[in-house]
Structures are given as C-alpha cells and as structure tokens.
Amino acid sequence: MNLKNETRKEIVIAKIYKGERLDVMLSKELDELSRSLIQSLIKNSFIKVDGKEVKPGYKIKTGEKVLIVIPPAPEIKTVSPTTLDFPILFEDEDIVIVNKPYGLVVHPGAGHEEQSVVSGLLSHTKLSPIGAPLRPGVVHRLDKTTSGVMVLAKTEAAHKKLSRAFTRHLVEKEYIALVQGKTEATRGTIEISIERDRVNRKRMKATSPEKGKPALSHYEVLERFKGYTLVKVTIKTGRTHQIRVHMSYIGHPIAGDVLYNGKKFPGETKLFLHSKRLSLKHPILGKQMEWETPLPTEFEKVVKSLRSPEFPG
C-alpha cells in the first residue's frame, strides 16, 4: 500500500470477524499498518463503518462495509533555526546545558510548534545528528509545562554516552514542585509503574508492574503552606509525566496540573514543576558536573504569596 498518496480500501466484514473489535480486525487485514495508526485513523474519521463514524472498539457485524482512507504521509520537515531567547548555562564542544522556560517545547512535533529548545539552539550551534530531523541532540525531555535545566548533545559520541547514562539511571535529576494539600510524611518513596492511559492518550497513569514500566520517585518536604506543600523530588527513572503521575497517585497533584486532577492556583494558569538540578558525568571528559537553576519568577512569586499570612488557603 502506497502511503505517500491517499489510498482508499473497502472491506466487507466476513462472518469470521463477527463481534470482533474494529481495530483488531483491521490490524489483521492491514498488516502493513500498525494498530496504533489504525486507531488514530478511526478516531480522526478516516475509517468509517457503513458511512458512520465509530470508535476503535466498535464491535463489527457480518456484511458491514468498512471504508479506509489513508491520507498522504506528512512531509518530514527539518527544524528551522529561531531566536535563542533562553539561557545557556554551560557549553563546550560536546554538550550544551540550558535553562528551559515554561511553555517552550523541547523539539517540534510534525506540524506543531516552530519555536523550541532545538530550534533556538540551532541558531547558535550545531547539535548531534542523532534524532534528526526533528529531535537532533535530544537525549531527554522536559514537558512543555516544566521549566528548568536540561542537557543536549552536540556530537554523536556525546549523544550515545549520555543516552546510556540516562538508561542506566546514572544521571541525578532534582525537581521542585508545588503540590496540593499537606503531605503527612516529611519524605517518601513512590514506586509505581506507569503506562499510557488507553482512554485519554495524552495522559499516563499508575498501573501494575505487569502492564507498565517501572518508575521510582523520592520526595522531601521543603515547606508547608495553607493547602499546599513545596517538595523536592528526585527521580531514578525518566518516565513520561512521572512526577505528575506519582504525586497525583498519592493524593497530592501538582498545582495547576488539571490533566492529573490538579486545580489551578488562584489567579494563575501555570503548572508548578521546575527542573532545579542536573548532575552527570561529562560524556567525553569523564568529569562529574552539576548545574542548578533558580525557580522562575512566576513560581517564586506564588511561593512568596503562600508565605503571606493574608493568603486565604
């Protein structure tokens, strides 16, 4: 099947598939397409049953006609350099350490934001070709709604060694988070596996070890306020949304994190999670190095307001 041009295909449901999920049946009939792509096509109305929009789990009936429309594959674009408007904390021939602002993506997705950490750096320096065209130099990521220190690779050798260090959990990552409620313990460990939420694909969720990937977080209370707690979190694994999922799991979602049951802080729309410290062994020089970043101005302002006796709580 040529995915470069729009392709149409019609399937009449055979008796052997009666009662089966639509996405499961199509993954058997269209082995050139992944099940995740099939589900995406169904959700975006490119696949219909008897002319009607259905869900991936729709139970098909004998004789129904399924029309599959596969749109042209999107062009893979290169990242165009943009203005470098965030701080570089350290740079040499192999790596670059930046202080990522809140609201900036690390790299653009296909058809999404043009401004990113990668695009800003490309106006200033080269990055490792690993991960190109959209993710050159990227060895780990911070969410768009997370600020703070992160590292990118400038050479292939540095990229490979940094990737191994992250995989082996040899990189120390420390975050500051403002969470809802007052935690009972002054410190704790959260060891809960994480998987993608099958209902809302934008979310991750806590799950059993059999279903998800292991995730380990340690937290320590820094300061308690009326209705909120400022915590330091160190993560030993780097799962997507790990801190957000774990803190929500123990009943203390991050302030402003509406995706994980958090509530917006009064008068603010931000999510209060900051990558404060990063410690790693330089991939080429072998020297242990460490960088810290202060809380962003808006974050610090909220913390100061919580210290005020006039804060309503």
């099947």: which residue's tokens?
1
Q: What are phi and psi of 83, to 5 degrees?
A: -60, 135
User: For the chain, what is the largest distance between any 2 Cα atoms, rounded to a whole number of angstroms?
Assistant: 71
Q: Which of 23, 94, 143, 257 is catalytic?
A: 143
Would residue 143 show up in a list of annotated catalytic residues for this protein?
yes
Select from 224, 225, 244 the least CA-distant residue to 233.
244
Exposure pattern of 254-273 as b/e (b: 16+ CB <10 Å)?
Answer: bbbbebbebeebeeeebbbb
The C-alpha atoms of residue 209 and residue 175 are separated, in whole angstroms, by: 25
For the chain, give the number of residues: 313
Contact 74, 110 (CB under 8 A): yes
- DSSP classification of residue 258: G
The C-alpha atoms of residue 242 and residue 225 are separated, in whole angstroms, by: 24
Give the list of residues 6+ apart from residue 241 with CB closer than 8 angstroms, or none: 143, 194, 203, 204, 260
Q: At what angle do helices 35-43 and 22-29 cross, to 10 degrees?
A: 130
């019609």: which residue's tokens?
10
Classify 179 as helix, strand or coil: strand
Contact 176, 274 (CB under 8 A): yes
CA 243, 248, 253, 259 torsion-angle sign: positive
Helix (H) or strand (E) holding 40: helix 35-43
Return the active site residues: 143
